[in-house]
Amino acid sequence: MALDESVRAQMASIVERYPRSRSAVMPMLHLAQSAEGEVSDEAMRVIADMLDLTTAEVTAVATFYTMYKRRPVGKHLIGVCTNTLCGLLGGDAVYAALTDRLGVGHDETTADGMFTLERIECQAACTHAPVMTVDWEFMDCQTPSSAVEVVDRLARGETVVSTRGPAIRDFEATEHTLAFPDDGLAGQGGEADDMMLAGLRVAHELGMSAPPVPGQES
C-alpha cells in the first residue's frame, strides 16, 4: 500500500511538533509503518524528501530501532519477554507454547499473515511477569495456556482486551498511536491493578502513611 495524500498530510503535521524538522523522523517512521505494516523503501524516500534528508540518513535511523520493521509484519505482532526475569519465571515456556501453536519462530510470520512472533526485551513490567505483548499492548502475567488462548481468540476474530489497555486492534493501529498518541483510548485499561496497588494496600492494612508536613499536623 502506498503512502497516500492523507498519510503525507499527517506526516507534515508531525513536523509542527518540533523546533527542528528532523526530530519528526521517528514518529513519521511509526506513521509509515501504520500505513504499510513495515517501513518500505518508498516510505523512506518520502520521509527523506519531506525532511530534506538523504535516504541514507533515514535508513540509518530506521535500521537502528528494533520497532521499525523492514519486512512486512503480520496483522498482530506477538512479543514475549524472554529477558532474565520474565523468561526464567515462565516467559520461556510461554514463548515455546506460542512457537508450537503458531508454527513460527523468532521474527517469523505465520503463513496466513496473522501473527509475527518475537522474543522481546524487558517491557518495564517485571512486577507483572511473565509479560507478553500483542501489538505492544500489555498482556501481563501470562501462562503458556493463557497465551495460546489469546492468539486462538485473535485468530477467531474475537475481542481480546489488554490487561492494562484497550481491546486489541492490530499492529498498524498501534503504530498509528505511536505517531499520534492522543488516540482517545487513554481511558481504557482501567485503574491501577493488583501489582501497582500492592504496596498501597499493605500500607492501608497496616495503617501506614507518609508523615504530615511539619507544622500542619492535625
Partner 1 sequence: MATPLTPVITAHWDVPDLFTLDGYRRTGGYRALPKALAMDPDAIIGTVKDTGLRGRGGAGFPTGLKWSFVPQGDGKPHYLVVNADESEPGACKDVPIMMANPHALIEGVIISSYAIRANHAFIYIRGEVPQAIRRVAAAVREAEQAGYIGTNILGSGFDLRVTVHSGAGAYICGEETALLDSLEGFRGQPRLKPPFPAVAGLYSVPTVVNNVETITNIPWIINNGVEWFRLFGTEKSPGFKVFAVSGHVVRPGIYEAPLGITMRELLEYAGGVREGGRVKFWIPGGSSVPMLNEDHLDTPLTYEAMAEAGTMLGTGTPMVFDDTISVVKSVTRWLEFYKHESCGKCTPCREGTYWITGMLERFEQGHGADADLDLLNEVCGHIMGRSFCALGDAAATPYPAAVQLFRDEFVSATRTPVDETFPPAAGYVFSAVGAR
Partner 2 sequence: MTIAEQSAAVQPADVVTVTVDGIDVRVPKGMLIIRVAELMGIEIPRFCDHPLLDPVAACRMCLIEIEGNPKPQPACAIAVADGMVVRTQRTSEMAEQAQEGVMEFLLLNHPLDCPICDKGGECPLQNQAMSSGRGTSRFEGHKRTFEKPINMSAQILLDRERCVSCARCTRFAEQIAGDPMLELLERGAQQQVGIGPDAPFDSYFSGNTIQICPVGALTSSLYRFRARPFDLVSTPTTCEHCASGCSLRTDVRRGVVTRRLAWDDPEVNEEWNCDKGRFAFQYLDRGRVETPLVREAGALRVASWPEALDIAARGLAAARGRTAVLTGGRLTREDAYAYAKFARVALGTDDIDFRTRVSSDEESRFLASQVAGTPMGPTYADLDRAPVVLLVGLEPEDESPIIFLRLRRAARKNAVPVAVMSPVLTRGTEKMDARWIPCRAGGEAAALAGLAQSDPGLLAQLSTPGAVILVGERLAGVPGALSRAAALAASTGARLAWVPRRAGERGALDSGALAGLLPGGRPIGDPAARAEVAAVWRVSPDALPAAPGRQAPQVIDTVLADAERAQRDEPREYDALVVAGLELADDPRADDLRRALEDVPFLVAFATHHSEVTEHADVVLPVAVVSEKAGSFTDWEGRSKPFSAAIRGAQSVTDGRALAMLADALDVPMGTGEVAALRAELDALGRWGGPRTPAPDEPATPPAGGTALATWRLLLDRGRLQEDEPHLAATARPTEAVMSQETATALGLSGRATVVLTGDRGSVEVPLAIGEVAEGTVWAPMYSEGCDLQGIGLHHGAGVRVTGGAA
d(CA 85, CA 57): 36
Q: How far is CA 208 from the centre of its chain?
A: 36
Q: Which stretch binds partner 2 (CB under 8 A): 40-48, 84-92, 146-154, 166-174?
A: 40-48
Stretch that binds partner 1, among 5-13, 98-106, 152-160, 188-196 (CB under 8 A): 188-196
Q: Which does 99 bind (CB under 5 to 8 A by kind): partner 2, partner 1, none?
A: none
Tell me: does residue 159 bind partner 1 (CB under 8 A). Answer: no
Nearer to partner 1, 108 or 183 (CB): 183
Distances (CA, A) of 200 to 11, 184, 203, 205, 213: 43, 29, 5, 9, 20
**Of 21 and 55, which has the nearer Cβ to partner 2?**
55
Choices 4-12, 103-111, 152-160, 210-218; region in contact with partner 1 by CB under 8 A: 210-218
Task: Work out whether 41 is an interface residue with partner 2 (CB under 8 A).
Answer: yes
